Structure 1
Amino acid sequence: MQHIRDESDFEQLPDNIPVSATIADIEENKGFIDYFKFVIEVKTKGHSKYLIYRRYRQFSNLHQTLEAKYSPGDQEKPGPNTCVLPSLPGKVYIGNKKEIAESRIPELNTYMKKLLGLPTWLLLDEAPRMFFYQMDQDSQHQPRALRRLRPPTRKVKTVKPPKMDLFSSPRAEAMFDFRGNNKMELNLKTGELIFLLRRVNADWLEGTVNNRTGIFPESFVKIIKPLPECDSEGEGGGHTYSCLRCCLLTPSGIETRDVCVQEDLTIQPTYKDLLSRMSDVFKVEDFALNYRDAEGDLIRILDDESVQLMIKQAKGQQGKIKRPVNQFPWELIVTMTSDFSVYNTSP
């Protein structure tokens, strides 16, 4: 059965009701849990346009809510408060996350098109209205790219160095030649002056030289004037990155890593999130998470309460240990689960 909107019903809908939605791009969230979000351009009946950012599981939650309320189920004839819903692409458990997200775009676009073509009374339901509503975090988020909305002939605007008082701007000098591996990376020649735009993570910066903009490793340059410590976002719509110091402690030695995540320094991750992240970082199995207390003793983390205690104790030690401004005040130490010798005791 094909539902066709009644024109008079449609005219009575409020102007902020969405009438179309198209995925413009995908964006990766690199945090304690890595996942991809779909950047969706929504157009309303009142001709306004805005962007929202949704994960696949939010699509799934919406679909399950609508199915529970409106699906006719096994009924031969749908009732007045039932509706045949479009099919949602199923969950994929194995594979490259980026490739999975990219492959879902055509199906999700079709799903949204059919969903917004359903009877007007369903569009007034709270579930689809909240899904397509532009929340504060949506409006404050700056898209990194909108590949599917950009016309093929559109030129990407380059960021030029400031024209006034150049030598008061954050800048660096290239100490070695650097050749980028892709269009995002900036080619550098020894002696070139680079104007700094933002910090990408603990090791990479973004800057501009000779009207070319891109990212480059900090180790290849000498900082003449650093970026402001409070600078969290650059002109390119960059994101704040925080640095987590973590160590793998084994009988053969200590391996230290600085992991960059997009979460703010005030975040309290879950125990499960930390386990997943450390598994990705060190590629080990059957390990335990730990932290050092004020006396320097190793304390094993067992649950969310342990994480909360670790963060509380670390905040109490702030100021006593000098750290970069974007580094978490707590550190993780990964050990093997069976290794109780690190606690100066035995099981």
Structure 2
Amino acid sequence: MQSEKLRVNSSHTQGRASTDLKEIQLHSTRMNQRQLRDESDFDQLPDNIPVTATIADIEEKKGFIVYFIFVIEVKTKGNSKYLIYRRYRQFFALHQSLELKYSSEAPTGSYTCQLPVLPGKVFMGNKKEIAESRIPELNNYMKRLLCLPTWVLLDDLIRMFFYQTELDSQQVPRALRRLRPPTRRVKTVKSKTDLFSAPRAEAVFDFSGSGRLELSLKAGDVIFLLRRVNADWLEGTVRDKTGIFPESFVNIIKPLPGSDSDEEGGASRNGKHAPGSYSCLRCYLLQPEGIDTRDICVEEDLSIRPSHEDLLSRMRDVFHVEDIALNYRDPMGDLIRILDNEDVALMVQESKHTGSKVKRPVNQYPWELLVTHAKDLTVYNTEY
């Protein structure tokens, strides 16, 4: 009887082991099928789909405000490589759009996925240090983002973020220090003969630069010329400082080569904006005692639409007035107050129609800013 029980227990144990083995084999088969399906899906992706992205460097940009941009090397499924240039705010906008579309709380759509965590905004601190500290976090974010299911990689939101635009392709990278081995910097000292043969000018009047980009001059200074910004402004170096200054304040001793004058003044002959060159914005401060006119130059493309916050911050720095309001003139000539980004977009849109009627340098924005004191309502063609 006891041996009979043992046989029954042995048979039961063998049967359970056989069942467990079958389950393991079935799970393994399913895993293999899933792996094959994923590989098959990946094989069906087009060659221009990005598969890896790494931050190669950061670069300082002197736009309407000073900010840092991430230089990113993207590698596609077809093994091609290219560089794109993105600000943190573009990462933030992408992540918000993806959350609206794919998070579990998304109001529409049946497909959801676990999105990677994006490093949060930082409102205080040194901008360069903040950008440097974000590099490993953003690299991890892009790595996890590009490991999402293939149907997410095909989303236009991701494809357009990693797409190399025409503006990206025109940029010239400065260092790419995270992609290259460290090398010694060799300083080349020019001879006196080289210095005296270089394009240069002598300051006739004192000039006080009103911003970080403008070069302050003292009468008698010798400025070594780098290039022409536009018809009225030049870029040069004096006392180890580089910046832009109005040509009317100097006497040209040796002019720039013809090619520099013709094609490096912020736009080439075909009207395209040269990468790394300056665009100029004319702005006015309207006061009871008169109008203060300024031309400010920024490293931005003419097609850019800056934010209201950036413009407000820059105008405070330019005119040294805190409590101000931004305005523009509509096609009827009336002053319109700018309150938010939508108003900025409207100003830029209207300038495409009205700006063509005014003759401006090729690198000057077609829209202009009129700055007023926030509480001064007398400048508007309205009764209150």
Residues of 1 paired with 2:81 and 2:369: CA distance?
Answer: 44
Picking from 151, 159, 162, the partner of 1:129 is: 159
Larger Cα-atom Rg: 2
Aligned-pair Cα RMSD in Å: 5.0
Q: Which residue of 2 is the match for residue 338 of structure 1?
A: 375
What is the Cα deviation at residue 90 of structure 1? Answer: 1.5
Q: Deviation of residue 330 (structure 1)?
A: 6.0
Alignment deviations for residues 247-268 of structure 1 (CA, whole Å, 9 cap, x no partner): 3344566544321123455767
Conserved? CA contact 2:330–2:336, under 8 Å: no
Q: Which of residues 199, 202, 212 in structure 2 aligns to 1:171?
A: 199
Secondary structure of the corresponding residue to residue 91 of structure 1: coil
Counterpart of 1:60 (choices 92, 100, 110) is 92
Could you tell me how far apart the structure 2 residues matched to 1:291 and 1:285 are?
19
CA contact (8 A) 1:22 1:41 kept: yes
Q: Secondary structure at the match of 1:302?
A: strand
CA deviations over 1:136-193 (Å, ceiling 9, x no partner): 33222322432322321265798x9xxxxx98xx8225679xxxxxxxx9xxxx9989
1:24 aligns to 2:56 (yes or no): yes
1:246 aligned onto 2:283: yes
Q: Do the aligned residues in 2 keep the contact of 1:279 with 1:285 (CA within 8 Å)?
A: yes
Q: 1:201 to 1:274 in 2, by over 3 A?
A: farther
Percent of counterpart pairs with the same letter?
58
Specify the alignment match of 1:316 in structure 2: 357
Give yes or no for the alignment of 1:117 onto 2:147: yes
1:151 is aligned to 2:194: no
Is 2:264 the partner of 1:231?
yes
Shift in alpha-carbon separation, 1:273–1:201, aligned structure 2, 3 A: farther
Given the alignment, which residue of 118, 141, 144 partners 1:88? 118
Tell me whether 261-270 or 82-91 shows the greater mean CA deviation: 261-270
Stretches of structure 2 lacking an aligned partner (at least 5 in a row): 1-30, 191-195, 205-214, 268-273
CA distance in 2, matches of 1:308, 1:85: 36
**Contact 1:201–1:241 (Cα < 8 Å) also in 2:** no
Superposition TM-score, scaled by structure 1 size: 0.64
Aligned to 2:335: 300
Per the alignment, residue 321 of structure 2 pairs with: 284
Q: Distance in 1 between matches of 2:100 and 2:380?
A: 52
Could you tell me how far 1:316 is from its partner in structure 2? 3.3
Partner residue in 1 for 2:3: none
Distance 1:266 1:126 in 2: 22
Shift of 1:46: 2.9
2:72 aligns with 40
Runs (5+) with no aligned partner, structure 1: 74-79, 161-165, 177-184
SS of aligned partner of 2:276: coil
Partners of 2:203 and 2:308 lie apart in 1 by 42
The separation in 1 between residues aligned to 2:329 and 2:119, in whole angstroms, is 46
In the alignment, the residues of structure 1 paired with residue 46 and residue 278 of structure 2 have an alpha-carbon distance, to the nearest angstrom, of: 40
For residue 86 of structure 1, give the secondary structure of its aligned residue in structure 2: coil
For the residues of structure 1 that align with 2:173 and 2:329, how far apart are their CA atoms? 39
TM (normalized to structure 2)? Answer: 0.59
Deviates more, 1:214-223 or 1:46-55: 214-223
CA distance in 1 between partners of 2:152 and 2:313 (Å)? 39
> 1:69, 1:308 → 2: CA distance?
29
Q: Contact 1:199/1:206 (CA < 8 Å) preserved in 2?
A: no
